[in-house]
Structure 1
Amino acid sequence: MRWTSLLAIYFLFWFLSLFLVLPFGIRTTDEVGGEKIPGQADSAPHEFRPLRIVLRTSLVALALFALFYANYSFGWITTDTLRSWFHGPAEANR
């Protein structure tokens, strides 16, 4: 596989991981006991830390990408495996 394809797949995993990581560790102003700014949404985070989010996202994406690449290299789950899961072993051999 080309390195550009690997990079593109990593970034797909990165953006998927971003949406998985974003809700964790967020505390609202009410939970912290801080003072609200007029017009602030109740669900707004008290403190936004983008570097922490990027680091967590990169680590989760790296783990998912490593699993993907290992499966690509060793062929643990193939299209034949998926076909047998969804259509049964008799139809998978056609």
Structure 2
Amino acid sequence: MKLTSIIAIYVLFWVFSAFIVMPFGIRTHDEAGIEKTPGQADSAPANFDARRIALRASVLALVLCGMYYANYVNGWIVPGDLNLFGEPPEAAKV
């Protein structure tokens, strides 16, 4: 596998991971006991920290990308293993 392919797969895993880790640890102003700005949404986060999310997403993406690469090298799961519906029925002979 080329280095550019590994980087592209890592970036895809990073974006996916960022959306997964984003809601963890977030508290609203009511939960944090902080006064809200007039017109502010009730669900707006009070303690959003992009650096923390980026770090968590980077670690998770590194683990997932490492598992993907290990599977690519060792061939643990191949496309034939993912045949969930069995063999296709044979075409009717005319």
TM-score where L is the length of structure 2: 0.88
Q: Distance in 1 between matches of 2:53 and 2:19?
A: 10
Shift of 1:87: 3.1
Structure 2, unaligned runs of 5 or more: 89-94
Structure 1 letter corresponding to 2:70 = A
CA RMSD of aligned residues (A): 1.2
Shift of 1:82: 1.2
Shift of 1:71: 0.5
Query: Are residue 65 (structure 1) and residue 65 (structure 2) matched?
Result: yes
Matched with 2:92 is: none
What per-residue deviation string (whole Å, max 9, x for no partner) do you get for residues 49-88 of structure 1? Answer: 11101000001111111110111010000011112xx133
Q: Secondary structure at the match of 1:27?
A: coil
Structure 1, unaligned runs of 5 or more: none
Q: Distance in 2 between matches of 1:2 and 1:55?
A: 25
Structure 1 letter corresponding to 2:19 = F
Identity, % of aligned pairs?
57
TM-score where L is the length of structure 1: 0.88
Q: Secondary structure at the match of 1:87?
A: coil
Which structure would you say has the larger Rg?
A: 2
Higher relative CO (Cα under 8 Å, sequence separation at least 6) belongs to 2
Answer 1 or 2: which has greater helix percent: 1
Q: Distance in 2 between matches of 1:5 and 1:58?
A: 17
Q: Runs (4+) of structure 1 moved beyond 2 Å?
A: none
| Number of corresponding residues | 88
